[in-house]
Every structure is written in structure tokens, then in C-alpha cells.
Amino acid sequence: MEFSKDQFSCPVEATLFLIGGKYKSLILWHLIEKPLHYMELQRMIPKATPKMLSQQLHDLEECGMLIREVIPDKPPRTLYSLTSFGQSIIPVLDAMCDWGAGFLDGLDIRPPCSARKARS
């Protein structure tokens, strides 16, 4: 993917361009621990339609955050994993999780998913 010199007016705009899609942050979040197959991601993000999930995965692959590997089984399976560039967004996702957990805690809401344990 090519970027132009005047495409972004500030760093936040550049970040949102890369991870601001409807499910991009969730996809990246789920891929932090290990590579996942398309169907695993679909189960983890049940509100995403197959078309929307495929589009978000394609966008993340196109900007260099994901690697898509087709496994030639019968039927073929697709495995997604973070690139080193994709891994560079993990601190941002961790900060988003911490902020969201505090927000939900203030509302006395306990989401069904749990926050990722901090690494040592």
C-alpha cells in the first residue's frame, strides 16, 4: 500500500486509517496471542458478517499488518497472523483495553470477554 506525503493531517488520523475499520481492532486483538483461522475469527466476532470480516482482513493484509496463509487442505483453510508491523500496534490495543475496562467498570458492566493478561 502506498501513502502520500499529505494524506494525513495528524498521527491520530494515520492510526485510525489503519485500525479504525468496524472490526479491525478486534481482529488485531484476537491475533495477539496466536495465528487464527478465518472460522475461528468468525466465531470470536459473531456480529461481523462474513463479507465484512473478509473485507477488514483484506484491508489489514493490504496495509501490512497481517499475513494471510492459505493451507491447502481439503477444504482449504486460511490462517491469519500479525506481521512485525502488526505487532507494533499491541501497546495501543493494550491501552484501548485498559481504558475500556475502566470505562465499563465505572458503569458496573462486566463484559463476557476478559482483558488479555499483561506480559512480563
CATH number of the domain encompassing residue 46: 1.10.10.10
- Residue 1's pLDDT is 72
Give percent above pLDDT 70 in the chain.
Answer: 93
How far is 19 from 63, CA to CA, in rounded Å?
10
DSSP 8-state secondary structure symbol assigned to residue 68: E
d(CA 19, CA 65): 9
The domain tally of the chain equals: 1
The reply to whether 120 falls in a domain is no
91: left (phi over 0), alpha (psi -120 to 50) or beta: alpha
Predicted pLDDT of residue 4: 75
Q: Is residue 19 part of a domain?
A: yes
Q: Is the pLDDT of residue 50 over 70?
A: yes
Determine the pLDDT at residue 117: 53
Q: Say if 109 falls within a structural domain.
A: no
Instruction: Name the residue range of residue 64's domain.
Output: 11-87
Is there a domain that residue 32 lies in? yes
pLDDT at 116: 59
pLDDT higher for 91 or 3?
91
Would 61 be classed as within a structural domain?
Answer: yes
Average pLDDT over every residue of 29-49: 96
Residue 110 lies in a domain: no
DSSP tag of 114: -
Does a structural domain hold residue 95?
no
- 3 falls within a domain: no
